[in-house]
Structure 1
């Protein structure tokens, strides 16, 4: 079942409240203060709205985890390229920005258990008619992909869409995902690869200026990242399990992927 279809079947009565049983099972971290780094460029997971507020699925999930486990959280922002090295070096206690769990990244940071699964899609302009899938895109040498170096979409572009050459001139690199989407809107590139969750957020907010085409190009699991050996991992895993089990994540999925409309 496709991710969006699965979300559409969620019960409208899903609640974000936690049962006493689940609350009692989670560790009390005694008001511990942690600093979380994020990119704020990946709607609807985390982004800046028109009022300047930082909002999104991940912010809501962390707020709920912090409440249940007695944590104090402050946030810092970083570019994607700097985030994993900074967390690895212990500059931050945790990182979040829809980070795909990958073996090579596990050598640098510890991951939480997955909190979300999504599928990679091609995001294009709303009036795009020159291609309809990865094969027809690859067949036209004039078409360009926007991506961030070192990300899952970058490697998907290289190995699932193009020829396996990581220096292929058809890939235009951008520092942030948001910048690649702006380049797509401006016509500087012709597609941006994104997971279905973020892609849906951009499509819904675009007023018809963007759409997704083709079949999913791969499946990925998202996790929070921590410095190697962090004692936060076990606590966050317990929290993730509780929020999955009691319907909180289902309610957040409905709120951010079905109900949320950018103003």
Structure 2
């Protein structure tokens, strides 16, 4: 999340780089010989990773994709949860082998952790309540001093709100901070704030899961690539990239895009 989320799955440049599943071990891929990979996420970024309210299970696009990567590499995944604000540092220190949460690939982060190749591309948009009529884009939002934006501190959503929607002042009182992205969306629904910025991945998930409750307004603000993060020098980067390349090429990522961004219904 620091600087990580962008929208419109329509154009949602789901550069979810895609491939026809080969469940048999592929000799072209490294064999991790049953190795256990400790993977971490926040479990609060629908539809990439979240707790299904009906089953209580941790599910989502990233779970499916990384489980498939591990399967093809002959590895097992030991899933863990942590907060976004501690994730990058925890992975950097080796507390977890790999982290994911729609994390934007950025040069400053590359100084702390190693990234996989990009698995998805997205853009930022403004999420609003379904009946919102007071503004239709960033310009009209900025012009009304009574309007508030909700954001998670240190995320792409926060910085885009500061520098592309408001005035560049990170202390602007029109920004209300929340501990998680999910809490900011609850605040939007309750009317405590008037917009929350989200990438296409999450925005699409919320609009689809809660028909009429949320909608998207305005134009995309920027473009970002998401990647898995690893401890610097991790020997997992090359194997994961090799498997990811295969998933992109054989249609597997496209299959998971269909499952989570088109077919999935939160309250099914």
Per the normalisation by structure 2, the TM-score is 0.91
Q: CA RMSD in A?
A: 1.9
Aligned position for 1:210: 214
Tell whether the 8 Å contact from 2:39 to 2:80 is kept in structure 1 after alignment.
yes
Q: CA deviation at 1:202?
A: 0.7
Structure 2 residues without counterparts, runs of 5 or longer: 1-7
Aligned counterparts of 2:92 and 2:153: Cα–Cα separation in 1:
18
Instruction: Name the structure with the higher helix share.
Output: 1
Runs of 4+ with deviation above 6 angstroms:
none
C-alpha offsets along residues 52-97 of structure 1, whole Å, 9 cap, x if unaligned?
1101111110111111101111111111111111111111111011
Tell whether the 8 Å contact from 1:205 to 1:261 is kept in structure 2 after alignment.
yes
The verdict on how the C-alpha distance between 1:171 and 1:16 changes in structure 2, with shifts beyond 3 A counting, is: farther
Aligned position for 1:188: 192
Tell whether the 8 Å contact from 1:66 to 1:72 is kept in structure 2 after alignment.
yes
- 1:1-263 to 2 correspondence within 5 Å? 3-5=9-11, 17-18=21-22, 23-50=26-53, 51-263=55-267
Q: CA deviation at 1:5?
A: 4.9
Q: CA deviation at 1:214?
A: 0.7
> Equivalent residue of 2:128, what SS?
strand
Per the normalisation by structure 1, the TM-score is 0.93
**Which of structures 1 and 2 has the larger relative contact order (alpha carbons within 8 angstroms, sep 6+)?**
2
The verdict on how the C-alpha distance between 1:224 and 1:6 changes in structure 2, with shifts beyond 3 A counting, is: closer
Structure 1 residues without counterparts, runs of 5 or longer: 9-13
Q: CA deviation at 1:24?
A: 2.4
Tell whether the 8 Å contact from 1:126 to 1:209 is kept in structure 2 after alignment.
yes
The count of aligned residue pairs is 257
> Equivalent residue of 2:220, what SS?
coil
Tell whether the 8 Å contact from 1:109 to 1:225 is kept in structure 2 after alignment.
yes
